[in-house]
């Protein structure tokens, strides 16, 4: 997992406050220099009422909620604990009034970009932030994600950095970096266009970064970093340090603890049959996560598997927050054996002891494939990832095969020699709802409905 971290952070962020000042007079000059550094970066200054000292930003609510839980867990048993909060509609008023964290303020505020930008526009100040952590940074810095006008944002980004991501001199972050932290700056002068609902993740993060102090540490985490995202990250960070954790010889591939398999199923109708056969052979070992291409296909597959006697549930953006939370909770408790989902949970969300990931529909990119199968084989455990593909998937198969080869998996040569797909964005093959109803019965239904 690559980590891009701002390098001019003080030593205490790594070694604690005790390393900032030494006792004794052996090195007075060194102590004086460290004292000045501490004044420049006042990480352990007195806590103020209502201040927010650190931000943790994630692209999805599920991931932000998970990070919030982990922050609370880290504070257990520590003197004073950690004051952590997940930003939501129900507590926005408290955050704005400064009462959310009590008289000592908040140590950690976990949020999604959209929710935070909306709160900033209502008057939230972030001038006390000392560190901001961006999880799944490659998605947060995507100009074509989280926006209703994706093509327009991508053209704007490519004109700024180039299609290969090598020229970052005109990047959007630099264009808007002159924004000040004073409350006197009107919100309409912030780098934005349109409402927060229609801005891309990149535009939302631009607003957030323009509101935090220049001395704040900026840390970016992601399992995948493209050249374009790297250029964006370097434009947003000062003297960045890049830390990469990967098995030697497998950089760019997936987790080597995962047994990756490609399974040809002929046509779309063969997928459900192949899944039934896996279950009959005992190869579908729960807990299992199944990824589908769209909300409609995920819901249709859920209905079909209900008749197979499998403890199954589904999660996608089309369900209510309470339904999604319930599905996740049941899956964590073991009440659900198979969880069908879209790419909503493909990034960052950590489920314990997942034995298998099944890509019911072929991922549209290698990056998406890495994040999907990364739900298994975690924390040193072994896992299995099976990916179905049909005749219509040959265009995108080469990319997946290359990732598998870089991970040390055996791949057929003909898959690596397939024709490259045209264009920067691959399109999904046209897929219909999953329905095993015989055609005569469908026609009969149609006549009865007319």
In this predicted structure, the answer to whether residue 265 has a pLDDT above a threshold of 80 is: yes
| pLDDT 10s digits, 362-419 | 998 888 899 899 889 887 889 999 999 999 999 899 999 999 998 889 899 999 998 8
Beta carbons of 356 and 284 less than 8 angstroms apart: yes
Mean confidence (pLDDT) of the chain: 77
Which of 38-47, 124-133, 422-431 has the largest mean confidence?
124-133
Supply the pTM of this predicted model: 0.68
Q: Higher confidence at residue 339 or residue 161?
A: 339
Residue 395 token pair:
């265009």
Q: DSSP for 223-250? A: S---HHHHHHHHHHSSSEEEE----TT-
| For residue 13, pLDDT beyond 90 | no
DSSP H or E run through 372: helix 366-373
For residue 200, give the nearest of 155, 233, 161 by alpha carbon: 155
User: 3-state SS string over 281-342?
Assistant: CCCCCCCEEEECCCHHHHHHHHHHHHCCCCCEEEECCCCCHHHHHHHHHHHHHCCCCEEEEC
Contact 210, 179 (CB under 8 A): yes
Q: Which residue has the higher pLDDT, 144 or 202?
A: 202
> Out of 3.40.710.10, 2.40.50.100, 3.90.1170.50, 3.40.50.300, which CATH number does the structure's domain 3-243 have?
3.40.50.300
The answer, yes or no, to whether residue 334 has pLDDT greater than 50, is yes
Give the domain ranges of the chain.
Answer: 3-243, 258-416
pLDDT reading at 40 higher than 90: no
Asked whether this chain's domains 3-243 and 258-416 adopt the same fold, the reply is yes
Of the pLDDT bands very low, low, confident and very high (cuts 50, 70, 90), residue 7 is very low
Give the rounded percent of residues in the chain with a pLDDT score beyond 70. 69
Minimum mean pLDDT range among 139-153, 174-188, 278-292, 303-317 = 174-188
| pLDDT grade for 153, boundaries at 50, 70 and 90 | very low
Q: What is 258-416's CATH topology?
A: Rossmann fold (3.40.50)
């Amino acid at each position: 997992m690559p980590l891009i971290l701002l390098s001019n952070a003080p030593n205490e962020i790594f070694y604690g406050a005790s390393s900032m000042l030494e006792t004794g007079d052996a090195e007075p000059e060194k102590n004086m220099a460290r004292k000045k550094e501490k004044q420049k970066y006042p990480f352990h200054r007195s806590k103020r009422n209502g201040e927010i000292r650190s931000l943790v930003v994630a692209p999805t609510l599920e991931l932000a909620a998970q990070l919030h839980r982990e922050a609370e867990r880290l504070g257990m048993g520590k003197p004073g604990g950690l004051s952590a909060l997940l930003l939501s509609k129900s507590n926005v008023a408290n955050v704005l009034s400064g009462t959310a964290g009590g008289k000592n303020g908040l140590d950690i505020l976990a949020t999604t970009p959209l929710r935070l930008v909306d709160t900033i526009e209502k008057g939230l100040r972030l001038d006390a932030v000392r560190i901001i952590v961006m999880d799944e940074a490659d998605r947060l810095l995507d100009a074509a994600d989280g926006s209703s006008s994706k093509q327009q944002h991508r053209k704007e980004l490519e004109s700024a950095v180039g299609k290969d991501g090598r020229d970052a001199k005109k990047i959007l972050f630099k264009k808007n970096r002159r924004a000040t932290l004073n409350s006197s700056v009107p919100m309409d002068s912030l780098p934005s266009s349109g409402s927060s609902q229609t801005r891309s993740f990149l535009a939302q993060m631009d607003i957030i970064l323009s509101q935090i102090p220049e001395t704040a540490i900026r840390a970016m985490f992601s399992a995948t970093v493209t050249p374009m995202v790297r250029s964006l990250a370097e434009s947003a960070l000062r003297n960045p340090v890049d830390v990469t954790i990967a098995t030697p010889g497998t950089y760019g591939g997936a987790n080597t603890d995962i047994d990756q398999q490609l399974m040809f199923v002929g046509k779309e109708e063969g997928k459900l049959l192949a899944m039934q056969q896996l279950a009959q052979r005992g190869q579908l070992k729960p807990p299992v996560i199944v990824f589908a291409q769209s909300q409609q296909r995920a819901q249709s597959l859920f209905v079909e598997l209900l008749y197979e006697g499998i403890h199954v549930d589904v999660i996608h953006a089309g369900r209510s927050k309470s339904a999604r939370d319930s599905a996740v909770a049941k899956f964590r408790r073991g009440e659900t054996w198979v969880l069908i989902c879209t790419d909503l949970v493909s990034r960052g969300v950590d489920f314990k002891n997942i034995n298998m990931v099944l890509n019911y529909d072929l991922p549209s990119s290698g990056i998406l494939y890495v994040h999907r199968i990364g739900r298994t084989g975690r924390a040193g455990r072994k896992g299995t990832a099976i990916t179905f593909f049909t005749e219509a998937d040959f265009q995108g198969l080469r990319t997946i095969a290359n990732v598998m080869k870089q991970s040390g998996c055996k791949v057929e040569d003909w898959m690596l020699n397939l024709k490259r797909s045209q264009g920067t964005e691959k399109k999904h093959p046209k897929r219909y709802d999953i329905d095993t109803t015989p055609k005569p019965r469908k026609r009969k239904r149609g006549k009865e409905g007319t």
